[in-house]
Amino acid sequence: MALLTQAPKGTQDVLPRDSYKWQYVEGLAMEIARLYGFQEMRVPTFEHTELFNRSVGDTTDVVQKEMYTFLDKGNRSITLRPEGTAGMARAAVQNGLLNEALPLKVSYLVSCFRYEKPQAGRLREFHQFGAEVYGSDSPACDAEVIAMVGEIFDTLGVRDLRLELNSIGCPECRARYHKALKEYFAAHMDELCDTCRERLEKNPMRILDCKSPVCHKIAKDAPKVLDYICEGCSAHFEGVKARLDALGMPYVVNPTIVRGLDYYTKTVFEFVTDQIGAQGTVCGGGRYDGLLAEIGGPKLPGIGFAMGIERLLKVMDACGAEFPEQPACAIYIGSIGEAASVKAFALVNELREEGFWAECDTMGRGVKAQMKYADKLGCRLSCILGDNELESGRANVKNMRTGETHEVAFDDLIDFVYDAQVAVLTESIRETEINP
């Protein structure tokens, strides 16, 4: 029976007391992306398995070990998306979006599914905010995307994130690099895990992100891709760096970043923190100039990124980033007796129509229990309606924080609640001015 009240391993609930943080972070990221010209796209949670095999790559850990794949009742192989890029690319091709004005810029909020070993910051269902640009191969586009990520983190108050940058070149550079890797790893053949031994022939670069400790150790001294990239890719990388320099955006070149997904070409990047333990990559992305053609679309370049919302919230907590105050109930209108309860119900409705969070009793509680509930909700104001109030058309409205009371006519209640809200806002602005 315990199973019924226990969520599956590696999943997390977002509780009412925390959901405002999610809404804040997601809303702000989407809003900044809008200023950079991105529009939201929503795609299905599951796709044909083949899409991920082709795009993410069938020798990656994600495809080989981590996908939630099943046969549906029509005997089709279906996979819950392990990431957002493949589905976005599929949707852009299928819906003819790439025949319209380019570059096409899309943003998204998606849940992703990977059967990984759960640990702090690593879940089996997690959430990403991401964005993709299709149609531009200019280094300006890479720098623009990276700058946007930087601005999102800055606006959210995330500090001490390191931008790590690398270039993994084009298919020609890759062929040279693969040759060098094969020679290097062949000398360690006996020590590699079974999966990596298979990878050695097909895709030796994937050995570099194997999670087995032995392979990981061997990979540390492997040849670095930056030493094998061609002149064109090198110039492209210089172009990206020059634009980040022009923005004064700090970065470090980390020649060991290859990313765990096969579709990348040229620029790859990660935003990394040391503040949340081993899973410190909060955002990852890069260019993928062959992906759209690989899945049957036009021969157009692309670039994008995704940040993990769970990791982002973790790093915000760790570095003391501020969240806006949790919204509070503006007024609780308590009541004694049926007639007063009906009046309270009507007044609350009017207040809600004016955009205020207002509450009244729906539990048939006594007045003491009603006030206890109002207190627990953290209501800013409260009043109690009884026969006298109904007769006079006025109520004593109490400020729950200061204890002050004011007699207010029912007709003036909306104005009174409005003034009280303004006073709270002014107070909090003054406080942030004194203690910024």
Q: Note whether 132 binds ligand HAM by CB under 6 A.
A: yes
Residue whose CB is less far from ligand HAM, 97 or 344: 97
Residue whose CB is less far from ligand HAM, 41 or 282: 282
Other beta carbons within 10 Å of 28: 15
Query: What is the end-to-end Cα distance of the chain in Å, rounded?
Result: 50
Residue whose CB is less far from ligand HAM, 185 or 263: 263
Cβ neighbors of 268 (< 8 A, separation 6 or more) are 165, 166, 167, 168, 257, 258, 259, 284, 285, 286, 287
85 is in an annotated binding site: yes
What whole-number distance in Å separates Cα of residue 235 and Cα of residue 87?
31
282: which 2 tokens?
């909060």
Residues 243-272, one symbol each (x = binds ligand HAM by CB under 6 A, - = not), give -----------------xx-----------
Q: Note whether 280 binds ligand HAM by CB under 6 A.
A: no
Q: Note whether 228 binds ligand HAM by CB under 6 A.
A: no
Q: Note whether 128 binds ligand HAM by CB under 6 A.
A: yes
What whole-number distance in Å separates Cα of residue 189 and Cα of residue 217?
13
Q: Note whether 308 binds ligand HAM by CB under 6 A.
A: yes
Nearest one of 185, 140, 142 to 166, comparing CA atoms: 142
Q: Note whether 57 binds ligand HAM by CB under 6 A.
A: no
From residue 324, how far is each of 237, 241, 327 by CA, in Å? Answer: 39, 35, 9
Q: Note whether 334 binds ligand HAM by CB under 6 A.
A: no
Which of 118-126, 187-195, 342-350, 353-361 is the region at the interface with ligand HAM (rule: CB under 6 A)?
Answer: 118-126
> If you ran DSSP here, which 8-state letter would residue 122 be given?
B
Residue whose CB is less far from ligand HAM, 115 or 323: 115
Min CB(284)–ligand HAM separation in Å: 3
Cβ neighbors of 107 (< 8 A, separation 6 or more) are 29, 30, 33, 34, 38, 39, 40, 41, 129, 130, 131
The footprint of ligand HAM (CB under 6 A) covers 83-85, 114, 116, 122-123, 126, 128, 130, 132, 260-261, 281-286, 304-308, 310-311
Q: Which residues line the annotated binding site for L-histidine?
A: 83-85, 114, 128, 132, 259, 263-264
